[in-house]
Amino acid sequence: METLHFSIFIQAPKEKIWAVLWDDATYRQWTAAFCEGTYAVSDWEEGSKIHFLSPTGDGMNSLIQTKKEYEYMAFKHLGELKNFQEMPIDEATQVWTGAMETYRLTTTSDGVLLETTMDCLAQYQQYFLDTFPKALTIVKELSETK
């Protein structure tokens, strides 16, 4: 598994960017770059489960491993969701269970730097190399205009 890194400078307060990232309405907007209609179900608290879902109920079951408001969020991906249900860990899932995805906001002289990392299997790398920059551009646009 490879760790992919993405970043973008945003001219907005960290609090605004954080809200764009994790508030339901704007979360749905920027994650549409990955899959139209994507949403998350969680209380967004550290240690809580989170379900990343497509409109058909497929997706990922994860854990909010670390949450430092306005600074850092880390998700540990645990398994698959099918038809809104958590699936048992099988041989294919075992390869990536425990993969991490992180988001960090850092104030710099050039604005706020949003950095994200994600552990990714080789067969999905090109997809995320193509789509993640598009998603971050949407976060930037929403943060700078709202």
Kindly list the structural domains of the chain, giving each domain's residue range(s) and its CATH number in brackets, ordered by start: 2-145 (3.30.530.20)
Question: Cα–Cα–Cα angle for 87, 52, 49, nearest 5°?
Answer: 75
CB 58 within 8 A of CB 83: yes
Residues 6+ apart with CB under 8 A from 48: 42, 63, 64
Q: Tell me: the pLDDT tens digits for 105-144?
A: 999 999 999 999 999 999 999 999 999 999 999 999 999 9
Residue 93 pLDDT grade (very low, low, confident, very high; cuts 50, 70, 90): confident
Residues 6+ apart with CB under 8 A from 124: none
Q: Identify the pLDDT of residue 121.
A: 92
